[in-house]
Amino acid sequence: MHRRHLTAAALAAALLAAWPVAAQDTVKIGLILPMTGPSASTGREIEAAAKLYLQQNGTTVAGKTIELIVRDDTGTADVTKRLAQELVVKDKVSVLAGFGLTPLAAAAAPIATQAKVPQVIMAAATAVTTEASPFIVRTSFTLPQVTVPLAEWSAQNGIKTVVTLVSDYAPGLDAQKAFAERFGKAGGTVVEQLQVPLKNPDFAPFLQRVADAKPDAVFVFVPSGFGAVFMKQFVERGLDKSGIRLIATGDVTDDELLDKIGDVALGTITTHHYSAAHDSAENKAFVQAFQAANGGMRPNFMAVGGYDGMHLIIEALKKTNGATDGQGLVDAMKGMSWTSVRGPVSIDPDTRDIIQNVYVRKVEKRDGGLYNVEFATIEAVKDPVKAAK
C-alpha cells in the first residue's frame, strides 16, 4: 500500500518534471489561412505545401519537434486577428504564418509586433504590407514586382494603349499604379483604369467599358481563385474575339484553375514568379510529390509561397540552434538565400521581402493540360516600390 503510494507520487513528480521540458522541446507554428470562403483555394494550397515540406524534411530541428497548428480565418480580418492572438497567448506559438489576403496580413501585424513573434507572409502581396511590422518576413511576392516586367514587355511588343482592370483593394491598386507608371515611362498610354469590387464581382459592366475603349490590350489582376469567373465573363462578353489582347499577372492564369478556364486562355501573356511548368529538377520533383500527396491537385504560386515559408522558418531555427526568440529568428531570416522550386530566391535584409526571378509566360498546351510556359526571365527582381524609397 505504502509502496504503491510512493510509486504513484514518484510518477507524478516525474511527469511534472518532464512536462516543461517536453513543452520547451516543441516549436509551434501557427498557420492562419482562409480554408473556407472565396479564397479557400489559397488555404488548401498553402496547407498542403507546408505539410509536404515537413513530410519531406522531417519534424525535428535542432533537437526540437515542429508542430504545425492550422486555423481557418474564413478570409475575415477580425477572425485572423483573434486567431493570431489566441495562437500567441494560449498555444504559445513561436511563429505566425500564412495570411491569404492583404487585409488579413495587416490585421495580424500589430499582434506580431506586440508579441515579438515572426509573421511569415506566404500569400498576401501588397508592397507596403511588410512595413506593418518589423517582425514580418515575406515569401510570396509583390504585385509591383511582377507587374513592372509586364508593363515593359507590353511596351516592347507593339502594345500602345491599355485599359487596366483590377480587383478594388490594395494589391489591385498596387498593380494598377505600377503598370500605369512603367508603361507610361516606356511610351505607352493607359486610357482607362477600372476597379471591380472584390466581393462577388460582376465584371460585365467593366468589360463593356473595355470593349468600348478599344485599347490594344487589357491588363488584369484578380486574386488567386477568381480567375475562372473573370475569364468566363470575358468570353461571355465576346472580349476574346474583339482583337483586344489580354495581359495579366499570373494570379489570373492560376495553375490550380487553368485547366478549368480552358482553351480560351491559350496565348495569354502573363508575368509571375512561379509556374508549375518551371523547368528545373527541383520543380519537377516538387510538382510530382505535391500531386501525389494531394489527389492530383496542381501546386500554384500560393503553394510555393507556403513551401518556401516553411523552408525559411526551419532554416532560421537551424541557424538559431532551436532558439525561438522572435528577433533572433527574424535576424536569421534576413539575407537567407536558397534554390526554390521557382528559381533562386533571397530575403532582402533591408525590407524582409523576397527577391526573385520574374518570368514572362504564355499559356500553352503541354501533355494534355494548359500551362503557363515561361519564355523570358528577369532575374533577381526586388519589390520596386520599396527599392524606390
Residue 354 to residue 217: CA distance in whole angstroms: 29
Single-letter residue type at 366: R
Q: Is 125 in the site for ligand DHB (CB under 6 A)?
A: yes
User: Which DSSP symbol is given to 124?
Assistant: -
Q: How far is the CB of 44 from ligand DHB (least distance, A)?
A: 12
Binding residue (CB under 6 A) for ligand DHB from 126, 271, 283, 324 = 126
328 conformational bin, left if phi > 0, alpha if psi -120 to 50, beta if neither? alpha
Residue 342 to residue 275: CA distance in whole angstroms: 7
Please give the residue whose beta carbon sits closest to ligand DHB in the complex: 223
Identify which of residues 101 and 314 has a Cβ nearer to ligand DHB in the complex.
101
Residue 141 to residue 129: CA distance in whole angstroms: 11
Q: How far is the CB of 121 from ligand DHB (least distance, A)?
A: 9
Residue 339, burial from CB neighbour count under 10 angstroms (0-12, 13-18, 19+): exposed
Binding residue (CB under 6 A) for ligand DHB from 145, 224, 270, 294 = 224
Binding residue (CB under 6 A) for ligand DHB from 101, 163, 303, 317 = 101
Q: Is 98 in the site for ligand DHB (CB under 6 A)?
A: no
Footprint on residues 12-71 left by ligand DHB (CB under 6 A): 42
Instruction: Decide: 100 and 198 in contact? Cβ < 8 Å.
Output: no
Residue with cell 519564355: 375
Footprint on residues 154-173 left by ligand DHB (CB under 6 A): 171
Q: Is 124 in the site for ligand DHB (CB under 6 A)?
A: yes
Q: Is 194 in the site for ligand DHB (CB under 6 A)?
A: no
Instruction: Decide: 110 and 119 in contact? Cβ < 8 Å.
Output: no
Footprint on residues 256-295 left by ligand DHB (CB under 6 A): none
Binding residue (CB under 6 A) for ligand DHB from 73, 216, 240, 251 = 251
Q: Is 144 in the site for ligand DHB (CB under 6 A)?
A: no
- How far, in whole angstroms, is CA 336 from its chain's centroid? 18
For the stretch 31-45, what's the b/e string if a residue is b when 16 or more beta carbons lie within 10 angstroms of its beta carbon? bbbbbebbbbbbbbb
Binding residue (CB under 6 A) for ligand DHB from 74, 80, 94, 102 = 102
Q: Which residues bind ligand DHB (CB under 6 A)?
A: 42, 101-102, 123-126, 171, 223-224, 251
